[in-house]
């Protein structure tokens, strides 16, 4: 069973459902998908005043939510899978505490969806797709209190870990069409500036794939005749 947590924000609820549908549609082994929604996290109190979505910090609760055992995947909601999630699952490395695409880029845009600021910072977007080794001893410190009291810089840069404990994933597993352009070989598409459900991002690179997935998520076969 592949455990997957997807960031959920009620301001773009459709993004969660489209992302989940793309995972299920391509999966070739059982998946357990959990929406990471703030109102379902009684052990956690959101204390941060920054952030462009409601799961900007709660994403770091995965070790706690899994009782510090096994592996789990975190994904932002503004994503679509183009292949079987078990391909990502197969990349797990027990020597690593987390694994992620280690982006190194400067953003093209100063703003993002719903008027949020889009700032450059080290390790930007590393935490948007993460293979978490929840049972790794180094992740024992990641408690709800740790997340509540941590800054964005500390958490999103995985500063509680040594560099050698952060494994690298291929860029295809967190491809940013709005920043890098179209890529027919991408395995996971991430519209980090704004999901195509927002009008201003509806025609962004590779957005047609998101719109198609939305139609598939809304599909129901009808009886004819």
Span 129-183, pLDDT tens digits: 999 999 999 999 999 999 999 998 899 999 999 999 999 999 999 999 999 999 9
Query: Do 103 and 178 form a contact (C-beta atoms < 8 A)?
Result: no
Sheet order of strands, 2-7 included:
31-36, 2-7, 71-75, 129-133, 98-101, 166-169
DSSP element (H, E) containing 62:
helix 62-65
Give residue 113's pLDDT.
Answer: 63
Q: d(Cα 164, Cα 181) in Å, to the nearest integer?
A: 30
Give residue 179's pLDDT.
Answer: 95
Give residue 114's pLDDT.
Answer: 58
Report, in angstroms and rounded to the nearest whole number, the Rg of the chain calculated over CA atoms. Answer: 17
- Is this model's pTM higher than 0.75 or not? yes
Q: d(Cα 198, Cα 114) in Å, to the nearest integer?
A: 9
Dihedral pair phi/psi, residue 41, rounded to 5°: -115, 75
The mean pLDDT of 213-220, rounded to a whole number, is 96
Span 86-124, pLDDT tens digits: 999 999 999 999 999 999 988 887 767 655 676 777 898
Give residue 119's pLDDT.
Answer: 75
DSSP element (H, E) containing 86:
helix 85-89
Span 198-209, pLDDT tens digits: 999 999 999 999
Q: Please, what are the domains in the chain?
A: 2-217 (3.90.550.10)
Q: Exposed, middle or buried: residue 9 (CB in 10 Å: 0-12, 13-18, 19+)?
A: buried
Q: Exposed, middle or buried: residue 92 (CB in 10 Å: 0-12, 13-18, 19+)?
A: middle
Q: How confident is the model at residue 12 (pLDDT cuts 50, 70, 90)?
A: very high
- CA torsion angle for 98, 145, 115, 118 (degrees, to 10)? -40
Helix (H, G, I), strand (E, B) or coil at 31: strand
């Amino acid at each position: 069973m592949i455990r997957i947590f997807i960031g959920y924000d009620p301001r773009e609820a459709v993004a969660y459902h489209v992302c989940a549908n793309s995972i299920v549609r391509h999966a070739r082994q059982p998946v357990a998908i959990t929406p990471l929604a703030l109102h379902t996290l009684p052990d956690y109190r959101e204390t941060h005043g920054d952030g462009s979505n409601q799961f900007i910090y709660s994403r770091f609760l995965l070790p706690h939510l899994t009782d510090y055992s096994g592996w789990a995947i975190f994904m932002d909601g503004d994503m679509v899978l183009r292949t079987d999630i078990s391909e990502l699952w197969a990349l797990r490395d027990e020597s690593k505490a987390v694994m992620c695409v280690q982006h190194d880029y400067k953003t093209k845009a100063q703003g993002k969806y719903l008027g949020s600021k889009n700032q450059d910072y080290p390790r930007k977007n590393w935490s948007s797709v993460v293979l978490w080794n929840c049972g790794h001893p180094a992740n024992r410190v990641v408690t709800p209190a740790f997340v509540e009291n941590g800054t964005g810089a500390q958490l999103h840069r995985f500063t509680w870990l040594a560099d050698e404990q952060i494994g690298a994933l291929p860029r295809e597993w967190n491809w940013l069409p709005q920043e890098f352009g179209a890529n027919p070989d991408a395995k996971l598409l991430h519209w980090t500036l704004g999901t195509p459900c927002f009008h201003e991002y509806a025609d962004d690179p590779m957005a047609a794939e998101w719109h198609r997935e939305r139609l598939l998520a809304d599909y129901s076969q009808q009886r004819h005749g």
